[in-house]
Amino acid sequence: MTSADPTAPAVLDPRADIVELTAAIVDIESVSGNEKALADAVELALKLHAPHLSVLRDGDTVIARTELGRAQRVVLAGHLDTVPVADNLPSRRRVREGREELVGRGTCDMKGGVAVFLALAVEASDPPVDLTWIFYDHEEVAAADNSLTRIAAEHPEHLRGDFAILGEPTSAGVEGGCKGTMKLEVTARGVAAHSARDWVGVNAVHRLAPVLERLAGYRARRAVIDGLEYRECLNAVAIDGGIAGNVIPDRAHATLNYRFAPDTSVEQAEAHVREVLAGLDVEIEVSDAAAGALPGLDSPAAQEFLAALGGDVPVAAKQGWTDVARFSALGTPAVNFGPGDPLLAHTDDEHVPTEDLRIALASLRRWLGLPGADATLAS
Amino acid sequence: MTSADPTAPAVLDPRADIVELTAAIVDIESVSGNEKALADAVELALKLHAPHLSVLRDGDTVIARTELGRAQRVVLAGHLDTVPVADNLPSRRRVREGREELVGRGTCDMKGGVAVFLALAVEASDPPVDLTWIFYDHEEVAAADNSLTRIAAEHPEHLRGDFAILGEPTSAGVEGGCKGTMKLEVTARGVAAHSARDWVGVNAVHRLAPVLERLAGYRARRAVIDGLEYRECLNAVAIDGGIAGNVIPDRAHATLNYRFAPDTSVEQAEAHVREVLAGLDVEIEVSDAAAGALPGLDSPAAQEFLAALGGDVPVAAKQGWTDVARFSALGTPAVNFGPGDPLLAHTDDEHVPTEDLRIALASLRRWLGLPGADATLAS
């Protein structure tokens, strides 16, 4: 045992085995708001091992860029933070059904992707395209606190490129673009009365009947864009109303969530929901909205990326909203690509198959023309 | 100033002017659970001024009976407690639009009725029927805590009679019987899913659509019994559901309140609601129920009471549930009759027109063959 300076950054070795590197990153706890130690460690590793990069620090976000004057620039971004720990740190390895897994908070969402990006940032000193690596904070909290919100506003040039790859878990497949999302508050008004004399009142809960009826009967659009199918969804995700057991409610309220295809603007999405509920005696207010992201798979940079990954890699539409939409809003087509099953994100049993880490690393090495594009699969 | 024993009961003078007596009773604060001081004062007043009565004390309930061997017995009952004070004690008098009012918590619900009953209990030493006076506690709270629940179980003989009068506010008109009330919990189940992938889930809130639709389109029965019209009501009085803004709810729930005519049993009422919702994929559970009370206005004792009040007194159905149902359940027809507008009960501006107090007192004096049946109106 040596006595270490507790304020000194942890030391990460980006050239270590990818599973060891992932475990080391996972073991630096970084629940949203507590990313500093991990950001320090990432910044130090890049400064020590990647002299070909210019490294910027902005809050707890680390941005590292090549400046090689290439014709194209690709942005690779991964968030450093996790949702709260559920007694699942430090990480551990296990073998289940013959498959090795790294288990613990962040293994899937998305420190596996962060480890792959950190390894490649160090390896790719002479890439065919210029690269921007972004390791950012506050993704697992409100969008307003997400550091990409701040950077998009203050330094949009950091996010610009011809193509962007977000390291969110996709089981090392490609998930293109994402749907938009809108929250709407639907309120019905009535007149309170004693429930034994309802004829002097108007029941606001009953006034939501045709709202629910239209939602229940709604047939959602399926939009195919660049060969990917985005299935829209329109749902009541919450409902509430009622004053007391003997009172006719004078107010009832439902929250709707509309997930709309990325060929639809926020304005068009709102107009559509208003049309679905047209003629009903309710108030409708949009309380939150974020546009989707077009997959942009027909762009040259995206085509080169897909070609390098090979014909076997699964390519699908991303149904949930992710930060790819921020790049799309700046005109940069973006996809999600990372190790780990997205359905395991945030679960207590969060884990990543170690093979996913190796496949993701090998795939991106192939794309960047680096050695080790195939060998890792055999290890 | 004399130094008083603070533990001694307050002294009420049942022979005082009815407005003064009401004010004195109102000024002994008796929010549910705190009825002891008022029960002590009522008990003392009866023992001091009504030697013709046998007085029983049961908890904070005072029961006083004549034992004259009359052919009929009439029960007159009033609750001593009030809902919480809203900075509206002590009482005060005011004149509005030429009408004198006594203002304060309990003036309407129902210390005006208590005052009238206390005055009459003392005056009526030789009534044409035997009388049982009940001054009881815990009416404004859960039915299980109502002292009549305990007395009906332990000493049903105290509640028995040929006719009962509950002193609840009716603006000194007669409100016969009461409707029954039933609370039902309606639950829809679904399958939770991410709201961007709703096709792998089932939205439980949407499953309530046909429930609300049937309630909104429900045409309630109007039952005419003994010439009184009881209008039934079936309503959702509360609705809730929702897990998070991005999750398809797997459970949604509505509370229904069914107010049914007194010719309908609790079992029939439940069967009716199940029929209204027949075929829908929801769970239905009765969480509370109380039968109504038939007006029984055709009984001889009721007819004598109505005749004594005269043809001018308004007679209507009681729509809300009241303790008359407890008497009805024991086979005793019962009506509500008391000073004060029932719509003012529980309001911050609770008050009673002083004329209501005098009219109610005079009406009951007429029925009991007591002097002062008309004179008070001129005072």
- pLDDT tens per residue, range A34-49: 999 999 999 999 999 9
* Confidence check: pLDDT of B67 > 80: yes
pLDDT(A311) > 80? no
Determine, for residues A205 and B237 on separate chains, whether the beta-carbon distance falls below 8 Å.
Answer: yes
- 3-class DSSP assignment, residue B217: coil
Closest by alpha carbon to A19, among A79, A140, A104? A104
Check CB contact under 8 Å for B197 and A319: yes
A204 min Cα distance to partner chain B (Å): 9
Nearest CB partner across the interface for B179, out of A196, A206, A242? A196
Flag if B239 and A239 touch (Cβ within 8 Å): yes
Q: Residue B269 gets which letter from DSSP? A: H
Nearest CB partner across the interface for A245, out of B205, B237, B249: B237
Percent of chain B's residues with pLDDT above 90: 79
Q: Considering B35, B101, B137, B139, which one is annotated as catalytic?
A: B139
- Contact yes or no for A216 and B239 at CB 8 A: no
For chain B, counts of helices (H) and of strands (E): 11, 19
User: How far does CA A19 lie from the centroid of its chain?
Assistant: 22
- Whether B123 and B45 have beta carbons less than 8 Å apart is answered as no
- Of A298, A230, A243, A296, nearest to A269 by C-alpha is A230
Q: Is A237 a residue whose pLDDT tops 70? A: yes
**Residue B49 three-state SS:** helix
Q: For A245, which residue in chain B has the nearest alpha carbon?
A: B237
Give the distance from residue A212's alpha carbon to the nearest chain B alpha carbon, in angstroms. Answer: 5
Token readout for B52 is 């013709």
Percent of residues, chain B, with pLDDT higher than 70: 97
Identify the CATH assignment for B180-290 out of 3.30.70.360, 3.40.630.10, 3.40.630.30, 3.40.50.2000: 3.30.70.360
pLDDT tens, residue by residue, A92-105? 999 999 999 999 99
Q: How far is A215 from chain B (nearest CA, A)?
A: 7
Tell me what the mean pLDDT of segment A312-339 comes to: 90
Q: Which residues of A participate in catalysis according to the annotation?
A: 81, 139
Least confident window among A222-236, A296-310, B80-94: A296-310
Least confident residue range of A12-26, A30-44, B13-27, B240-254: B240-254
A and B: number of Cβ contacts within 8 A: 161
Cα–chain center distance at B141? 11
Return the biggest CA–CA distance within chain A: 81
Amino acid letter, residue A284: I
CA atoms within 13 A on the CB side of A40: 13
Q: Inter-chain contact A236–B205, Cβ cutoff 8 Å?
A: yes
CB contact under 8 A, A237 and B216: no
pLDDT score of A6 more than 70: no
pLDDT at B1: 42
Mean pLDDT of chain B: 93
A259:B196 CB<8 A = yes
User: A73-97, pLDDT tens digit by residue?
Assistant: 999 999 999 999 989 999 999 999 9
pLDDT at B123 over 80: yes
- Determine whether B254 is exposed, middle or buried from the number of CB atoms within 10 Å of its CB (0-12, 13-18, 19+): buried
Cβ-contact B41, B129 below 8 angstroms: no
Average pLDDT, chain A: 93
* CA-to-CA dists, residue A322 to A79, A84, A168, A169, B346, angstroms: 11, 19, 8, 11, 52
For an interface test with B, which of A239, A251, A255 has the most B Cβ atoms less than 10 Å from its Cβ?
A: A239
The answer to whether B245 contacts A183, with C-beta atoms less than 8 Å apart, is yes
Between chains, do B247 and A237 touch, taking CB under 8 Å as contact?
yes
**pLDDT digits 0-9 by tens, B311-325:** 788 899 998 888 999
Q: Which helix (H) or strand (E) holds A71?
A: none
The CB-side HSE value for A18 (13 A sphere, CA atoms) comes to: 32
For the domain A18-178+293-368, what is the CATH code?
3.40.630.10
Which chain B residue has its CA at the smallest distance from A261's CA?
A: B196
Q: Does residue B5 have a pLDDT over 60?
A: yes
pLDDT given at position A347: 86
What tokens were used for B101? 């009012």
Distance between B367 CA and the closest CA of chain A, angstroms:
30
Q: What is the pLDDT of residues B253-293, one digit of tens each?
A: 999 999 999 999 999 999 999 999 999 999 999 999 999 99
Instruction: Band the pLDDT of B6: cuts 50, 70, 90.
Output: low
What's the pLDDT score for residue B206?
98
Domain residue limits, chain B? 18-178+293-368, 180-290
Does the distance separating the beta carbons of A249 and B237 come in below 8 Å?
yes
Residue B47 and residue A345: Cα distance in Å, rounded?
76
Mutant choice from B184, B232, B246, B347 vs A, greatest count of A C-beta within 10 A: B246
Of A203, A233, A237, the CB nearest to B242: A237
Pairing of strands B73-79, A174-176: unpaired
Compute the C-alpha angle A127/A128/A132, nearest 5°: 60
Continuous H helices in chain B: 18-26, 36-49, 112-123, 147-154, 204-207, 209-216, 266-276, 300-309, 324-329, 354-368, 375-378
What are the structure tokens assigned to B70, written together?
């009359």
3-state secondary structure of A364: helix
Measured between its terminal Cα atoms, the distance across chain A in Å is: 32
- Nearest CA to B18 among B285, B257, B353, B265? B353
Strand partners for A283? A187
**In the structure encoding, which two tokens stand for residue B230, read together?**
């009881």
**CB contact (8 A) between residue A231 and residue B199:** yes
* Catalytic-labelled residue, pool B60, B81, B109, B175: B81
**A181 chain-B contacts, CB cut-off 8 A:** 196, 246
Distance from CA of B47 to the nearest CA of A (A): 39
Mean pLDDT (whole number) for B159-169? 94
**What angle, rounded to 10 degrees, do the helices at B36-49 and B112-123 form?**
20
Indicate if the pLDDT at residue B2 is higher than 60: no
Q: How far apart are CA A368 and CA A378, in angstroms?
A: 20
Which run of H or E residues covers position B334? strand B334-336
Per DSSP, the residues of B173-206 read SEEESB-EEEEEEEEEE-B-EETT-GGGSB-HHH
Nearest CA in chain A to B244: A237
Decide the pairing of beta strands A163-166 and A351-353.
unpaired
Nearest to B238 among A206, A215, A242 (CB): A242
Q: Which residue of A has its CA nearest to B242?
A: A238
Residue B345 has pLDDT above 80, yes or no: yes
Is the pLDDT assigned to residue A379 strictly greater than 50? no
Cross-chain residue pair A245–B236, CB shorter than 8 Å: no
Nearest to A197 among B238, B248, B319 (CB): B319
Whole-complex ipTM? 0.82
Side chain identity at B361, as an amino acid letter?
A: L
Task: Please tell me the predicted confidence (pLDDT) of residue B244.
Answer: 86
Q: What confidence score (pLDDT) does residue A236 get?
A: 98
Nearest residue to A107 (alpha-carbon basis) of A23, A28, A35, A166: A23
Tell which wins on pLDDT, A295 or B104: B104
Torsions phi, psi for B85 (to 5 deg): -70, 140
Q: Across A3-12, A21-30, A192-201, B150-159, which has the greatest mean pLDDT? A: A21-30
Distance from CA of A29 to the nearest CA of B (A): 26
Contacts of A197 in chain B (CB under 8 A): 231, 233, 319-320
Residues with Cβ within 8 Å of residue B165, at least 6 apart in sequence: B74, B75, B76, B77, B305, B334, B335, B336, B337
Q: In this complex, which of B195, B237, B288 lies closest to A235 when CB atoms are compared? A: B195
Closest by Cα among B322, B107, B80, B315 to A194: B322
The Cα of A278 is separated from the nearest Cα of chain B by a number of Å equal to: 17
* Residue B4 binned pLDDT confidence (cut-offs 50, 70, 90): low
| Closest residue, chain B, to A197 (C-alpha) | B319
**B70: Cβ contacts below 8 Å, ≥ 6 apart:** B127, B128, B129, B130
pLDDT level of residue B377 (50, 70, 90 thresholds): very low
Nearest to B239 among A247, A252, A321 (CB): A252
Residues of A in contact with B229 (CB under 8 A): none
Backbone angles phi, psi at B375, to 5 degrees: -55, -35
